[in-house]
Amino acid sequence: MSDSRGQVETRLVYAHGLASIIVLFVSLLFGFFASLEMAAPDSLGASPWLTWGRLRYDHTQGIMLGWLANAFFAFLYHAVPLLTGRRVTSVRLGQWIFGLWNFAIVLPGWILVLAGFSQPLEWAEFPLVIDAFVVLALLLAAIQFLPPFFSRGLEDLYVSSWYIIGGLVFTLLAYPMGNFVPELVPGARGAAFSGLWIHDAVGLFVTPLALAMIYFVIPAATRRPIFSHFLSMLGFWLLFFLYPLNGTHHYVFSVIPMSAQIGAITASTLLGVDVILVVANLLLSLRGAGWLPRDLGLRFVATGTVFYLIVSIQGSVQAQMAVNQSVHFSDWVVGHSHLAMLGFASFAAAGGLIHVWQRIPWARYNAEALEWSYWLLLAGVILMVTDLTVAGLVEARMWQSSAPWIESVRAAGPYWMFRALTFVPIAGGFVALLAGLTTGDPGAGLAAIRDSVGLKPVSEIAPRLAIAESE
């Protein structure tokens, strides 16, 4: 390390990275069990601990707070020092955050939900006591990661930095709103706040940090600056303007005032336009890297970018009243959220993890396994989302007809069975991801960097990234 001011705490990167994948497997199993119970009810017996609702709660909370959040933290420990040229606040604090996050939030949260302590709010299912720890941990994370930006000074910040600051600050604001307010404000009035959080969880926590990863990995792996800093900033500000205004599109045709619904739908439409802008900038930055970049981190991130475009335009379409009235409540929406969390966010997170792993000199790295991981996950997510999309359209059609309700359940049966089977490629893909990051030779990642694209010498991109690369 030539410059200790920007030193990366590789042990914390490694700990969060490994934790993210372990937690991911548990979340994945929750999801698989839930999908199995829909395809073949009673197949897991009738224990209260394995009932569908509880598994469903643990699946989504585990994916968001377990897998993605840990992966984000791993990435932040790598990126923040490189972006600011300063160390994170404290290693000891980092150990506390790691312990709190995994052993005071994710693990007890799961157990409490399975034992019957939860709240029935989407993306907020962990019980209130866990929420208190989440807020505390988010506060500590802000203390850990934000001061380097401020002590460095905010001038000439790279766009990833903006997304990191925005994501951490806004999540700290939005999380309490989504988790506490509906407990205090009843019924329709509370639902208005719930709607906001359902979108903020994805829009203000997952998306900014995933985009921070994508914006970080692309120039670092291609060794070429981002296409347009101006577009990056425009995209950033528009996203942070529009994302929070989307929430009410989850309750279209409800008793919530129509003007709020129409406002949210308008914001959803504009958001699609903005994402075209963001993704265009990202894809233009990828020029020259090929359709299938050789650098695996870059490849995951690039694929996540494409999924981001698809899922956002899909969301804009689904929010339109004419579409929403028939497909809302259907499996297409479930497909949409899997495209967002598995397609966009998980590909970005996996890419980010691979990228930072390559740069831990002592970490094992197995490119062949990661190659498998990529193709299995790609196949899995495409199969699952396509299946759920068709299922949703079939259900929507049945609901519009006068057929008895149960006909729509019967019609969805084969699709649910197929969805449960997509567990095989997806789980295989994540097993390969784990293998890719825990087998192979230590330091093989560094060799992989030298072997990959590298379109321009690193010193031409940004001096601060050059510090990182020269280590």
- Kindly tell me which of 1 and 255 has the beta carbon lying closer to another protein: 255
Least distance in angstroms from the C-beta of 238 to another protein: 10
Task: Tell me whether residue 186 or residue 450 sits nearer to another protein (CB atom).
Answer: 186
Give the span between the Cα atoms of 323 and 447, in whole angstroms. Answer: 50
Report the b/e string of 269-303 with b at 16+ CB within 10 A.
bbbbebbebbbebbbebbeebeeebebbbbbbbbb
Quote the least distance from Cβ 240 to another protein, whole Å.
6
Nearest partner of 30 among 409, 438, 384, 427, judged by Cα: 427
Handedness of CA 399, 405, 407, 410 (dihedral sign): positive
Q: Annotate 41-68 with b (16+ C-beta within 10 A) or e (fewer).
A: eeebeeeeeebeebbbbbbbbbbbbbbb
- 245 or 348: whose CB is closer to another protein? 245
318 versus 373: smaller Cβ distance to another protein: 318
| Cβ nearer to another protein, comparing 64 with 198 | 198
Nearer to another protein, 70 or 232 (CB): 232
Q: Which is nearer to another protein, 257 or 457 (CB)?
A: 257
Name residue 288's amino acid. Answer: G
Q: Which DSSP symbol is given to 3? A: -
Query: CA–CA separation, 378 vs 425, rounded Å?
Result: 9
Closest distance to another protein from the beta carbon of 165 (Å): 9
Instruction: Report the sign of the C-alpha dihedral through residues 414, 419, 420, 422, in that order.
Output: positive
Q: 114, 49 in Cβ contact below 8 A? A: yes
Q: Least distance from C-beta 60 to another protein, angstroms?
A: 10
Closest C-alpha to 158, from 90, 86, 78, 226: 226
Query: How far is residue 80 from each of residues 145, 178, 424, 461, measured CA to CA in Å?
Result: 7, 28, 36, 17
Distance from CA of residue 222 to its chain's centroid? 23
- If one counts every other C-beta atom within 10 angstroms of the C-beta of residue 257, the result is 12
Smallest gap from Cβ 419 to another protein, in A, equals 12
**Please, what is the minimum distance in Å from the beta carbon of residue 213 to another protein?**
20
Smallest gap from Cβ 352 to another protein, in A, equals 24
**Shortest reach from residue 110's CB to another protein, in Å:** 14
Separation of alpha carbons 411 and 357, rounded Å: 45
Q: Which is nearer to another protein, 341 or 353 (CB)?
A: 341
The residues, ordered by sequence, that sit 6+ positions from 320 with a Cβ below 8 Å of its Cβ are 265, 269
Residue 399 beta carbon to another protein: minimum distance, rounded to whole angstroms: 6
Q: Which is nearer to another protein, 81 or 127 (CB)?
A: 127
